[in-house]
Structure 1
Amino acid sequence: MIRKLLTVLAFAATLISAPAQAYWEYGHETIASIAYRNAKPETRARIDALLRQSRLLETPTCPAFTIEQASVWADCVKPLGERFSYAYSWHYQNVDVCKPFDLKSACRDGNCVSAQIERDVKLLKDAKVPVREKVMALVFLVHFVGDLHQPLHAGDRGDLGGNRARADYGLYGPERLNLHSIWDGWLAERAISTPPSLVRLYSPQERAAVQGGSVEDWSRDSWQVAKDAVYATAMGDPCGPPPKRSKLDDATIAKLVDPAREQVVKGGLRLARLLDEALGG
């Protein structure tokens, strides 16, 4: 009996821990694969050439020889402590969804995801920047565009991007589950794995529909998704009193699959545009 109980507990532990990595890995890798597939051939050649130099980063436990590996490098190096602690706040921007969109207040001194995306593009364009710095700019850029399109990295309501908003995912509801982990993990995994595959060559019309605008425009877009798709479905009134614990039932989860898929596609195609601008000649 004890052995059986331990087996059940071990299985439950894997269920809790594994999906927490789903957006960090599955989402980022999918966005990177879409971008690579839809970038110009010359852009892909320059990406490959830079990533062949990724040993210059001196992070052997966090390789970046492919664009998929590069897409998760910025998260992989977090445990390396002081070497990369300066970049912690670059992964997100807490723009209040219950106030008029205000990116400047959330991005003071450039310590936010949108400002770093723009910085990385500038570094990649600059012929005078050393190769090592270009490689780092590339791996940061690939990751940060993915972060910007996870809505809770772009908007929140004073709850650390949903990390303090407790929530149940269908019948699953361990105490530590929250809106952020649901959109990072459980929902991202379901959305990306729902057929058809998101990794394909998109038509010029499909690309034009999402690639236009600036990084600030994309920030506003993701911020709006945070308000309308994340908080509204979890709380009813996205700016009303938060419940002690939100409950996303199966019907609600099914409705969120398409918005979650759309964010991944937007991220991939917009990343392709930035890579072409920075490296496509």
Structure 2
Amino acid sequence: MSRILLILAALIGFAAPAHAYWEYGHETVAAIAYRNVTPAVRAEIGKLLARQALLETPTCPARTIEEASVWADCVKTLGPRFSYAYNWHYQNVSICKDFTLKGNCPDGNCVSAQIERDVKLLKDKSVPVRERVMALAFLVHFMGDLHQPLHAGDRGDLGGNRAKSTYGIFSGEKLNLHTIWDGYLAERAGTTPPSLIRAYTASERAAVDGGSVEDWSRDSWQVAKLAYASAHGGEPCGPADQMGTLSEAGIEKLVEPARAQMMKGGLRLARLLNEALG
């Protein structure tokens, strides 16, 4: 069914992915986290989301962690009310220079800084409930964003939004690297067995959930290099106007890295939720 939906989307000019990352990828990251937090933290998440009406966004509910995972994108449709958060979803760290967040996160307006801020808000029970509910929704979403590599790495093209590329046999004006990693590749990776949504062992969690948010930023930035290189014959920093090409064989090689990003995002989010709400 997912392949059929993919083909249908292609035939209408890639107007929208069958499951954009902001749906499929984010919900997968959230579901992994929910399965891997402690029972006590799961209960705390439930208590906070039970108060989601305080957000006063009825067209963008956050009743479950999956709904919360897409709330931050949904509220973009509400106009200027949440426009202050636009830059919080990404950080344009050049893949063609040494990694640094300095200068790439002005005044804390980037995804990694907002993740750290949201954790602090969740930890502080003196913060009004409404603000803690919002912090939870933002945190769940931003951890998904950070692990979509083209929200973490860039080469002056808006995280691949201006990087045209084919995807297997498909091409189109609206198809670019960001769209591919947001939607088509995310869906293909997430639906490839075995399911990513399960309880992971302690050793599996320990292998990926250590380090800091900056470490995770660097990790996703490295995968962004792979994203560009895969479409440009192994050269991540080729000419900016060069049309990218992802063959079927190339796509197959990206499935596991894309799955790993979702898994890492979910387990790292679980760690932060355990620390903030445990």
Does the 8 A contact of 2:9 with 2:17 survive in 1? no
Q: Does 1:61 align with 2:59?
A: yes
TM-score by length of 1: 0.94
The one-letter amino acid paired with 2:277 is L
SS in 1 for 2:166: strand
What's the secondary structure of 1:70's corresponding residue? Answer: helix
8 A Cα contact 1:20 1:181, kept in partner: no
Q: Tell me, yes or no, if structure 1 residue 231 matches structure 2 residue 228.
A: yes
* Partner Cα distance (2:148, 2:10) in 1: 28
Letter in 2 for 1:90: W
In the superposition, the TM-score normalised over structure 2's length comes to 0.95
Runs of 4+ in structure 1 deviating by more than 6 angstroms, as ranges, are 8-11
SS in 1 for 2:238: coil
Q: For residues 253 and 215 of structure 1, do their structure 2 counterparts lie closer, same or farther at Cα, with a shift above 3 Å needed?
A: same
**CA distance in structure 2 between the aligned counterparts of 1:156 and 1:121, rounded to whole angstroms:** 26
**AA of the residue aligned to 2:217:** S
Could you tell me which amino acid in structure 2 is paired with residue 218 of structure 1?
A: W
Give the unaligned 5+ runs of structure 2: 1-6
Summarize deviations over 1:214-236 as a string: whole Å, max 9, x none: 00000000001101x20111112
Contact 2:10–2:170 (Cα < 8 Å) also in 1: no
Letter in 2 for 1:198: L
Aligned partner of 1:187 in structure 2 is 185
Q: Which residue of 1 aligns with 2:3?
A: none
Query: RMSD between aligned alpha carbons?
Result: 1.5
Does 1:12 pair with 2:17? Answer: no
Residues 1:31 and 2:38 aligned together: no
| Cα distance between partner residues in 2 of 1:161 and 1:216 | 18
Return the alpha-carbon distance in structure 2 between the equivalents of residues 9 and 276 of structure 1: 41
Inter-CA distance 254–243: structure 2 relative to 1 (3 Å threshold): farther
| Residues 168, 39 of structure 1: alpha-carbon distance in 2 compared, 3 angstrom cutoff | same
Contact 2:14/2:174 (<8 A) preserved: no
Matched, 1:260 2:242: no
Aligned to 1:118: 116
Structure-1 separation of matches of 2:106 and 2:273? 25
2:131 to 130, 133, 137: 133
Alignment of 1:203-222 (within 5 A): 203-222=201-220
- Asked if structure 1 preserves the Cα contact closer than 8 Å seen for 2:150 and 2:178, the reply is yes
1:243 is displaced (CA, Å) by: 5.0
**Contact 2:9 2:18 survives alignment (8 Å):** no
Instruction: Answer 1 or 2: which has greater helix percent.
Output: 1
Question: Residues 82-113 of structure 1, C-alpha deviation per residue, up to 9 Å, x if partnerless?
Answer: 11000000000000000010112101200000
Q: CA deviation at 1:19?
A: 1.2
Counterparts of 1:71-86 in structure 2 under 5 Å? 71-86=69-84
Letter in 1 for 2:269: L
What is the rounded CA distance, in whole Å, between the counterparts of 1:20 and 1:88 in structure 2? 24
Instruction: List gaps (5 residues or longer) in structure 1.
Output: 1-7
Would you say how many aligned residue pairs link Structure 1 and Structure 2? 271
| CA distance in structure 1 between the partners assigned to 2:204 and 2:46 by the alignment | 25
Question: Residue 270 of structure 2 corresponds to which residue in structure 1?
Answer: 272
Q: d(CA) in 2 for partners of 1:32 and 1:87?
A: 20
State the AA in 2 paired with 1:184: D
Is 1:92 aligned to residue 78 of structure 2? no
